[in-house]
Chains A and B, each alone.
Chain A
Amino acid sequence: MLGHVVLEVREAQVPLLSVMILGGCTAKLARVLRVGSLDAGLGPTALFPLRLRRPVAIVTCAVEFGCAIGLIVTAGRLGRGEVANSVRLVTSLLFLVATCALLELRTSRPDAGCGCFGDFSTTPVSRRTLTRSAFFAAAALATIGLPPLQAPHPSLDAARLLGIFAVEFLVIAALSPEVGEALVRLGYTEPCELRRLPAVRTLTALRRSGQWRRRSGLITSELPADMWRELCWRYVVFPARLGDREAEIVFAVYLRPHRPVIHAALVDSETGDVLPWPAAAGHRVPRWLLVSGHALGLRRPFRPRRASRARPARPAAPRPGNRLPAPRRPQVPAGLLAAPTDPGRGIPALRMDSPPHRDPNSAPPPRPPRDDMPFSRDL
């Protein structure tokens, strides 16, 4: 009985080794396709001079693939005897050499990963990795001299074989740093401070928000005056007009793909004071916003729900004699569109350091804040 179980365990190693080696080859191939370079995955190839790493990686991958295919082809009656044993011996040698290489790698490059499974895990070579490689070498050695494999009988034999596979996969999983890495990646959420989110998505989310609907009536330009990001927030500044005062509306948009939190403030362009929001600022819809929604990236012109019945918005306490000027579409020099915030992504932006075109009859340009950069002479 024991001899029969041992034989079954030995027989189970052939498909198991084939699957593992083919899995490693596939992962390496996937990595090569992903990163576009064969020599990106280091592992034991880091032991070789730079010019040899690429050919060594190619040869290693080819030998692995050949062993896996050879194990499968010679598992049955085809090539039984010496051919099958030769393939299994080569596989054993492959894993023995890999174990020795990992030992050397651990000594000379303790920071490098084993390069297994296409460098899926960059965890430095540890005892677990070494044990796994030695385990595979022992498994390959155990297959030498096996008779041709036969399909297991249903019921008891198949169940026992499944049990052997399950136990072995559990052992291999316990020895594999890649499993932990995969589990971490599955449950990983990138912190918002590190998340790359295109500015165009921020603008899209902003234009769909209630804050935009409420505040857009004051905005006088379809182009943001400035846009920048700090940690989890992206700030978007639009020029605005409140009565006869030049102002700016700054939106702070939380960097989340959907329904981000948005804060807004109205700031006097000249004094920098925070201004109170006028009542019903969003009821007035600029004509340019209706006709040029496509310029903002909107699929259809933006129309607030109550815009048709709304009265034009006015400041909460307008000065006597001051009428709210009719909104006008700003004329933006073409050269200003290639702003730092628009690295070829079609994001409208306006450079503050270029003089915008101004109507000579309009209010004087806002006074910029003074340059308060710290200098050594101030110390």
Chain B
Amino acid sequence: MLDVRRDHRCCDRFAGTSTAMRASRRRLLKAAVFQPHGTPGDSAADPAAAGFPVPGTLPRVLTGIVHDISPHVLVIGNGASQTRITLTAAATAWRGSSLDPAGLRPGDHAVVRLHPSRRRVADRIWANIGRVTGVIIERDADDLLVDEGKTKPRQLVTIPSSARGRIRVRFPSLEPGFLIDVIGLRRAGVLEARIPGTSQPAYPVDRIPAPAMVSGHVPSAISGSATWHEPVEEPGGLLGVSYPAIDPEAGCAEDPVGSRPAPRFARMPYLAIGSLLLIRNDCTGDSCMLPVTGCAAIARLFNDRCVTCGTSPRGRVADLTQAGFIALGGELDKGCFNATITIGH
């Protein structure tokens, strides 16, 4: 039996209001140093001035538990509040595979993308969707124990026989030490894998190829793959991004289990919680400024490409929150989109 320990250690990441205030305070103080004649208080406190997405420009996301479902109306609840969402004929849903929105069941955890121009109208719904990205620690038949890094608890993944073929095509080595990234259904703390999130890197985690050396200044715009992650200690609906290269001094540097020597990560400029990134979906052209709200240390181990539209350059450059991923035009069941991040704002 695989033992899922909930002993993930804390480090500098988004864990609530205090961190959010710290992040905005950092922007204010940074502005005070480099723009002493401006009005840093205003720019740091005003989301529009900070460059965050403004209303009406990007799709909105609602998450909650399905309370009631009919062919035309979906009622989801989040705590004590309930929200009624209209279902049109164009709305689609996913729960392990595509299904009619009316096929959702009360009790399902739904992530609803609203129509960008019509409020309270659902455009697409993902039910019970989950994702596990990390290093395989143990394997017991079709059950896997996966380490997602310091900031998250270990995850139990089970691969049902119906999805085994599809998963094994992309992940031929389901052995301890190899990386895995699967999307599936959340069932009582276990992820039932349905589709592969990427193709498995050919190397075990302790044999990552040496990254290329970078000369001169690092370019401010970096292209690669943008993925999403499930919220852990993050408020629902947060528009943020976990960045793969948080300053190691912040205690987020990844130290995957059993790796000796330390993996040689892809080289990206070091940033901190609260730094701003301009993220562009190269497939749709949507872009917005998002704050760094966490570290995506495991993402550094994936030297993979996204092929949603064309083939991205190697490497994961951003690990977005669900709301951020959807707002930028991503489809959760696709796993990634080709993205370009711009640093230095």
Q: At the interface, yes or no: B161 with Cβ under 8 Å from chain A? A: no
Cα A235 to Cα B261 in complex, Å, equals 31
With CB as the reference atom, state the residue of chain B lying closest to A349.
B249
Q: A196, A199, A371, A373: which has the most chain B beta carbons within 10 Å?
A: A373
Which of A67-75, A226-234, A318-326 is the interface stretch?
A: A226-234
Number of cross-chain contacts by CB at 8 Å: 200
* Selected contact of B209 from candidates A122, A230, A252, A370, CB within 8 Å: A122
Return the contact of B239 from the options A111, A248, A374 (Cβ within 8 A). A374
Least distance between B47 CB and chain A CB atoms (Å): 5
Which of B25, B240, B267, B274 has the most chain A CB within a 10 Å cutoff?
Answer: B25
Separation of A16 and B204 alpha carbons in the complex (Å)? 37
Q: A228 CB to closest chain B CB, in angstroms?
A: 4
Interface pair A191/B60, CB less than 8 Å apart: no
CB distance from A40 to the nearest CB of B (A): 6
Q: How far is the CB of A103 from chain B (nearest CB, A)?
A: 19
Assess the A373–B291 pair: CB atoms within 8 A. Answer: yes
Residues of A within 8 A of B17 (CB): 371
Checking B10, B29, B59, B261 against A237 with a beta-carbon cut-off of 8 angstroms, the contacting residue is B29
Q: Evaluate contact between B214 and A194: CB separation under 8 angstroms.
A: yes
Asked if residues A194 and B270 are in contact (CB atoms below 8 Å), the reply is: yes
* Interchain nearest-CB distance for B157 vs A (Å): 21
A352 touches B22 (CB 8 A): yes
Q: Mark B10-28, 1 if CB is under 8 A from A, else 0.
A: 1110101111111111101
Residue contact B214 to A191, C-beta cutoff 8 Å: yes
Give, as a whole number of angstroms, the nearest-CB distance from B180 to chain A: 16
CB of A126 within 8 Å of the partner chain: no
Given A237-B29, A267-B32, A371-B17, A229 contacting B247 (CB threshold 8 A): yes
Distance (whole angstroms) from the CB of A186 to the closest CB of chain B: 12
Task: List the B side residues contacting A371 at CB < 8 Å.
Answer: 17, 20-21, 24
- The stretch that binds B, out of A57-65, A133-141, A269-277, is A269-277
Asked whether any CB of chain A lies closer than 8 Å to the CB of B344, the reply is: yes
Which A residues are in CB contact (< 8 Å) with B89? none
Residue in chain A with minimal CB distance to B46 = A372
Contact present for A265 and B46 (CB under 8 Å): no
The distance in angstroms between the C-alpha atoms of A159 and B16, with both chains bound, is 76
Contact B11 A368 (CB under 8 A): no
A30 → B minimal CB distance (Å): 14
**Residue B40 CB within 8 A of the other chain:** yes
The stretch among B49-57, B64-72, B96-104, B122-130 that forms the contact with chain A is B49-57
Residue among B17, B33, B202, B275 having the largest count of chain A Cβ atoms under 10 Å? B33
CB within 8 Å for A231 and B207 given contacts A250-B32, A379-B60? no
CB-defined interface of A263-296 with B at 8 Å, one 1/0 digit per residue? 1110100011110000000000000000000000
Q: Are B210 and A273 in contact (CB under 8 A)?
A: no
B62 to chain A, nearest CB (A): 8
Q: Which residues of A contact B188 (CB under 8 A)?
A: none
**At the interface, yes or no: B58 with Cβ under 8 Å from chain A?**
yes
Nearest-CB residue, chain B, relative to A199: B249
Bound form: Cα–Cα A338–B291 in Å:
25
The reply to whether A194 and B272 contact each other, CB–CB distance below 8 Å, is no
Q: How far is the CB of B41 from chain A (nearest CB, A)?
A: 3
Nearest chain B CB to A340 CB, angstrom units: 4
B251-A193 in contact (CB<8A): no
Q: Are B249 and A229 in contact (CB under 8 A)?
A: yes
Contact A42 B41 (CB under 8 A): no
Does A374 contact B21, Cβ atoms closer than 8 Å?
no
Contact of B20 among A198, A199, A373 (CB under 8 A): A373
Interface check A359, CB cutoff 8 A: no
Question: Do B213 and A188 touch (CB < 8 A)?
Answer: yes
| Distance in Å: Cβ of B36 to nearest Cβ of chain A | 5
- The answer to whether residues A229 and B40 also contact, given A343-B249, A376-B61 and a CB cut-off of 8 A, is no
Please tell me if the beta carbons of B30 and A235 are within 8 angstroms of each other in the complex: yes
- A230-B275, A353-B18, A379-B58 known; A369 vs B25 contact (CB < 8 Å): yes
A336, B232: Cα distance in complex, Å? 24
> When the two chains form their complex, are residues A375 and B237 in contact, meaning their CB atoms are under 8 A apart?
yes
**Chain B residues whose CB sits within 8 angstroms of the CB of A378 once the complex forms:** 47, 52-53, 55, 239
Contact status A272-B28, CB under 8 Å = yes
Report chain B residues within 8 Å CB of A227.
Answer: 249
Q: What residues on B are CB-neighbors of A370 within 8 Å?
A: 21, 24, 45
Q: What residues of B have a CB within 8 angstroms of the CB of A35 in the complex?
A: 261
Q: In the complex, A193 Cα to B245 Cα: how many Å?
A: 10
Do residues B40 and A272 form an inter-chain contact, with CB atoms below 8 A? yes
A residues in contact with B218, CB < 8 Å: 191, 193-194
Cα(A378)–Cα(B60), bound, Å? 8
Alpha-carbon separation in the docked complex, A15 to B343 (Å):
54
Taking a contact as CB atoms under 8 Å apart, the answer to whether B269 and A193 are in contact is: yes
Q: Is B216 an interface residue (CB 8 A)?
A: yes
B16, B209, B251, B343: which contacts A231 (Cβ < 8 A)? B343
> A36-B261, A190-B214 are known contacts; what are 18 more A-B pairs with Cβ within 8 Å?
A198-B249, A229-B247, A230-B271, A231-B343, A231-B344, A237-B29, A267-B29, A272-B40, A340-B251, A341-B250, A343-B249, A352-B25, A372-B52, A376-B61, A378-B55, A379-B57, A379-B60, A379-B327
11 contacts between A and B (CB under 8 A): A42-B207, A189-B215, A235-B26, A252-B33, A272-B28, A372-B24, A372-B44, A373-B293, A374-B239, A375-B235, A375-B237
* 10 tightest A-B CB contacts, nearest first: A272-B41, A353-B18, A193-B269, A228-B272, A340-B12, A376-B323, A376-B237, A229-B247, A343-B251, A374-B52
